[in-house]
Structures are given as C-alpha cells and as structure tokens.
Amino acid sequence: MTMPIPGSEQFSSRPVDPDELARSLPSSLTVHTVDQEQIDSLDPLTYEVIRHRLWSVTDEMGEALKRQSGSPIVTDANDFDFAISDELGQEVQVGLYNTMLVGAVDLAIYWTLRNRADNPGIESGDMFLTNDPWVGGGLHQNDVMVYQPVFHEGKLFAWTSAIAHQPDLGGVGLGSFSPAAQDVFSESLPTPPVKVVRGGVLQRDVADLYTRRSRVPMLVGLDLRAKIGANNVGAERLHALITQYGPDTVKAVMKRMMSDAEARLRDKLTALPDGSWTATGYQDQSHEGDRNLHKITVTTTKTADHLTFDFTGTDPQAGVINCTYAGMRGGVMLALLPILASDIPWSAGGLMRCFDLVTEEGTLNNATFPAAVGRGPIGPAWLTGSLIAECLSQMLDRDLELGRNVQATCCGTWDTAVIAGLDERGEQPAPFLSIMMEPMAGGYGARPHADGIDTGGLFCIPMGRVPDVEMTEFLYPVLTLWRREVPDSGGPGRHRGGLGASLAITPHGTSVPMGLVLASAGKAVAQNAGLSGGHPGNSGLDVVARRSRVAELLAAGRMPSELEEISDALEPAQNYASSYLAPGEVFAMTWQGGGGYGDPLTRDPDAVARDLREQKITAGAATGVYGVVVTDGRPDATATAAERARLRGVRRERSRVDGTTGGKADLGSVKRVDDNLVESGDAVACRHCGEVLGGVGSGERLTLAVYEGPSTDAGPQMIADPADYVDTPIVFRQYSCPSCWTALYSGVVPADHPDGAATIGRLTVTTG
C-alpha cells in the first residue's frame, strides 16, 4: 500500500466548469469566444463545410505524425491520437485512433490554464509537453502529449494536441513496464506540463531532459519532433480556416459541434427506458509474485437524458494495475464513442457533458499518487471500458434499432511483451527495444445480428493496424515462426466472437539473451465476456520454450508450427514477469478473441459447419459446444437435433434451481429485454418457451437454473489453467432457463462472483 505524498494533490486534474475556468484566467491571457446568438445564426451549409474541415485537420495531423515518426507503435499500430479543442480545452474534434486518450486530453489543458497561465505564461508559439497521468493528457507515463495554444489577433482561440505511446521513458523495467513495481518511483517518472517550445523554437534543455531518461533516446527524440510537426500542421490549417471564414464563424462552428453532439446523445438516451445495470470484472494478479484477483465494479444508471457511472466498491489500488482518474474517464470514452455515438460526430467535449463519474479515491481506476500506473491504459482503464460496454449493451439490447450497436466484449485486454537486447546483424552491434504490437489483431465481440470480426483489431483504436512481419524482422533480431488465427478463440454463441491469434518468435541475429518483460491479464478470469448466454472468448497464454529444438528443425529445413515440436520444457509465463529469451529459445503468445452473443445451441448449424471448414473452430467445439454434428462437411439435421437435446439434458442434470417459476406468459404482446428474455406485463419471461422467471421490479431475483464447474466447461478456448496464476477458485458459471434450458448467461468468473440472477439482461431499477 503506497502512502499519500503531501503536495501531490495539486497535480490531480478534474473536469471544470468552463465559465468558472474562464473567470479564473489572468488578465494577461485573453480568450476568443462567441455568444449564443452567433452560434444560432450559422447557416447549415457553412456549418457542415467547416465541421468537415476541422475533422480533416485531425486526419492531416495523423498523417504528419506517421510520416515523421520512426516508431512502429505510431507508423504501424496507430497507437496515438489528436484533438482540436476550444480556447478552454473542451474537445471539439478528436481523431479515430486511440480513443481512450480522448478522456485525458482536456484534463491536461484545464490544468495548464490554471497552473501555467501566470508562470511561465501561455503565449503564441508555445508548446507544452506532459506525461503525467494525474494531470491528464495520457493514461500512463508512456503516453506523452505535446500540445499548443493557437492564438488569433492576440487572443487564445484554440488548442491542438498530439499524443503517442513512447517505447521507453526509463524506469526499472524494459519499455518502462516494471512488473514488480509497488509505486511510481519504480517506473518512468511523470512530468507535469513543461514548455518544450517557446516562441516557435524547441527548447533544447527541456528536450534533452526529456529524452535523456529513455533507453532509445533517438527514437523518442524523433517522436517529439514529429508531434511538434503535427501540431504545426494543425495550427496552419486552423489559421487557414480562420482566414477564409473569419474567427467568429469558425469558433461558432466549434461551439455548435459540441452542443449538437450533446443534444443528439441526450435525444438517444431519452428514447431509452430508465434503469440501472451492473457489471463486475477482475484483473489477474497486480504485480510480479501476486496471486490474487482485483475487482473493478460499475453500476450504470440512465435517468432521462443523463448517465451516471458509479464505481463504488472497486478494490483499492494495488501493484502496477492502477490508472488515474484520466484513465477511468478514458475507459468510459472507449465504450461510449462506438456504442452510443457511432452515428454522432465525435465532438467529445459535448458528449462528456452527458455523464457523471462517481468514484472513490485510491482505487484501481482512480489511483492516488504515488501508485504505480504503468499498466493503466491496458489494464484497469481497458477493463473499465469493457464493463461500461457491457452495461451499455444491455441497455441498448432492449431496442431492435439501437441494438445494432450492441457488442459482446472484444479481446478484453492487451498482452504486453517487451523485448530488448543487442542487434548484432550490422557492422556494429546496436541496442534495440521493441514492444510486440501483434496483439493489435484482437478479436471483436459478436453482435445480435453478426459474428465478431476475426483478428479485427481493438475496440479502442478504430484505425489500428497489426505490424508487417517482414518489417519486424528487418528492424529487430528475431525470426517469426508463425503468426496465425487460433481456432476456437472466438467466444461461442448464436453469433461467434471474432478469433484472436498467436505469434511465436525466436532470436535471430544476436548471440546474447534478450530481456523479456510481460504484463497481461485474462489468463485466469475471462476479460472478453459474452452477452445473452454467449461464452467468453479464449484465455490468454504466454509460453517460453526452453531447451528448444528450433535450431535443429530449421537446420533440417523444417519450419515448426506447434510448440510441442519445439520443446518438452514449456514454461507458462505469469501475468507479470521479468524474464529473458536466449538464442535457440522460443517465445509464443496467444492473445484473446471476442465474446460470443446468444446461446451457442441456437447457432445456425450451417454457420457451424462453415466455421469448421474454415478452421475457425475445431470438431470438438462443433459437437461439444454448439451441438452440431457435421458429416461430409454438412450438418446432419437429425443428429444435430438429438445432440442439442442431449446437451440441454446435460444442463438440466448438472444444474440446480432455487425457487419456482411462474407458469407461462402470453408471448403475443411483449417487450424485448435481450436475445432470450422478454417483459410480459410485469413479468420477465423466456422468449423461447414463455416460462415466467420473475418480476420486473427493482431487486427482483429471477428463478434460474445455475451451474458451476471447471473453467474448461466453457469450451476448448480456455487454454490456460487458472491455478497457474491465482489462488482463488475460478469456475464456469452458467444460468439457464429452467424450462427449455436456454443459456442466459455464461462466464468464467471467481467462485465468489456476485449472483447474477437479480441482474441478467434486464433493468434492476425502473423509474417510470
């Protein structure tokens, strides 16, 4: 447990009231703004033209960064983002890159306006740099933001910002990931906003102070200049827009973009029933040597046109699996943007007015200084987003039209692997450091109307890309043995989750062991939950093959394709570990697919047969999970009906039912709850058989059949043994209709996970 450090609270940034912030600025800093009459007087054509021009500016900034950066994190994986903000820091337009960063950009600008306006001042030609996740801008120290005020005729008009993950900024661990860290002092130290460009000139002393901390200073220095260049592009385009249309018109468009986004989201929320939904998730281990689970829980309440996300009950901060308030807010935006705002321009400053956050200080997703936060965005912030997405999906699933945006959890987490060592392929040996970016090819969650996209990417990076294998081998001394999709990794369901994938590498071009740092989750408890009875996707698994036969196989002209060919000494890696990879050894990582949607026994048998032909699933899953018997490539209808009846009988025999159901409901006039449940009057009933399972009211508990067994009962996608990672018993828990035995919920959770019979797929609170 880290002890609070007096004085650190001044670096804790929170959302502010814009009017109060404007009044607090010194007289030396005047801002440009417009009144409501100017906003209302905009003609529609001008508004749309300027709105799209502002959108294109973020795209141009992205291209500028990628053209100047030398980091595969930027050039290949698109792990960065941009924003154009108004004079007070409210985000007008954000890029389609790492959307988690959207929740942090404005916080850094608010803090800068409050704490840098007097000393050293905010002036034309300045740019600031920060990597302090308590201030904002990024979600952990490797997220570095460079941002600039844009002035017009002496008045602060707007801000542009560029943020990207840096490969290494110091600290104990390679890539600044320190698996054993207990506080931030073992990681890269955070830097509050500092003026890195003054009067248009890069401040060499500040730049040197920043890059000196890194194991790859030249690469970090190049990225710094790339961000400066991207901001210059943004400012040039804004000035051109102001010259063409006038400052008042451009500013009026910026303000209206935010108010329009707010109004459209509020209209969408108003059309949905009021209610409350709860989701709870876990992170396996908090640091090297830990064998505990750590909980994040959220209750999402929708009242009229407003959302409240209440994280009360989340576990205290621990180890390296914490994020700051900015990370929690970024996790919310990760889910809200694609699920609720997919058809609304991403004017985040307006969208964020539609929700409140309730949170306790010193918890996993609202950690206080000096907590270790190195895994912030890819641990607690990501899990926060997954839980919010689960709640929002349950809310939207009640509406057939809005339900098209419902999605089971995507790959659930990022599997971090950092390698570093000596590249001996050139004339002079040179050090190298690389973050394996292949997990960008995560599996997307299934939807009510479609399967998840196989290796489709990450929910939080819409424009993310997986690196090119040949480029990875060109840049670093490794040989890739395979990179492929993994059968059964997508969560089974009426619609299947998208597949995850696997990568295996071996050192090639170096004679000394390379360092290997690992940080992940989802190996014991599923991070990629399904919806409406759909199963979670696969568990992650990292393996180091010692005493490998890879050199002999390659010398014989054979490219190995399975770990069993390579070694008899396979070493499952822990979630958090500092290890090594010696020449002749192999590191294999399997990252996660998406969750399924709906009961697997209701999947179209032809789709199962197609998946089997295309090696998306194995024969064991086709029969044992989906209940489909495939003969000569086609489903046998009679045998399939019999197998599905047998599997429903297995559910009946192994489950217990507490209580009695209420007879049969009239299914002629009902309201949809989700894929399996409907409301019939004041009762909740099974959509498939009409069995009344309980009432609609607050806290009502449904009468369901419940089964708990080993995690492997979820299917062959559970490739990791939870006992290798945590001491808490982990189970496959399934709730079913006690009449027709349709699965209503299927999860891999701790044995003490809260009972879901009171909350499955329906409102737990009704207000009208």
The residues, any chain, with a CB within 8 Å of residue 86's CB and separated by 6 or more, are 92, 158, 159, 251, 254, 255, 258, 349
Instruction: Classify the C-alpha dihedral 356-359-364-370 as positive or negative.
Output: positive
CA gap 678, 293 in Å, rounded: 35
pLDDT of amino acid 399: 83
User: Within 10 A of 637 (CB to CB), how many other CB atoms are there?
Assistant: 11
- Nearest CA to 491 out of 615, 385, 598, 648 is that of 598
CA gap 577, 520 in Å, rounded: 10
Looking at 422-505, list the stretches that DSSP marks H as alpha helix, in order from N- to C-terminal side.
469-475
The residues, any chain, with a CB within 8 Å of residue 701's CB and separated by 6 or more, are 659, 694, 755, 757, 758
Cβ neighbourhood burial of 663 (10 Å; 0-12, 13-18, 19+)? exposed
CA gap 61, 161 in Å, rounded: 9
Rounded (5°) CA angle 511-516-519: 170
CA gap 761, 676 in Å, rounded: 9
* Helix or strand (DSSP H, E) at 579: strand 576-581
Beta bridge partners of 281: 296
Please give the backbone phi and psi of residue 747, each rounded to the nearest 5 degrees, phi first: -145, 155
pLDDT of amino acid 197: 98
- Nearest CA to 367 out of 203, 181, 216, 210 is that of 181
Domain ranges, ordered by start, for the chain: 18-266, 268-601
Helix (H, G, I), strand (E, B) or coil at 269: helix
pLDDT of amino acid 213: 96
CA gap 694, 269 in Å, rounded: 26
The 8-class DSSP code of residue 118 comes to I
C-alpha distances in Å from residue 108, one per residue of 74, 148, 233, 334, 461: 22, 11, 21, 18, 21
pLDDT of amino acid 768: 30
Mean pLDDT by 10 residues, the chain (768 residues): 84 95 96 96 96 94 93 88 97 93 97 97 98 97 98 98 96 93 94 98 97 96 97 98 98 98 97 92 95 97 97 97 97 95 95 98 97 94 96 91 89 92 95 94 96 94 89 96 97 98 97 95 95 97 94 94 90 92 96 97 98 98 98 97 98 94 90 93 94 82 95 95 96 97 97 84 44
Whether residue 685 contacts residue 691, with contact meaning beta carbons closer than 8 Å, is answered with yes
CA gap 728, 503 in Å, rounded: 29
Cβ neighbourhood burial of 520 (10 Å; 0-12, 13-18, 19+)? buried
Work out whether strand 730-736 and strand 705-710 pair parallel, antiparallel, or are unpaired.
antiparallel
Whether residue 323 contacts residue 364, with contact meaning beta carbons closer than 8 Å, is answered with yes
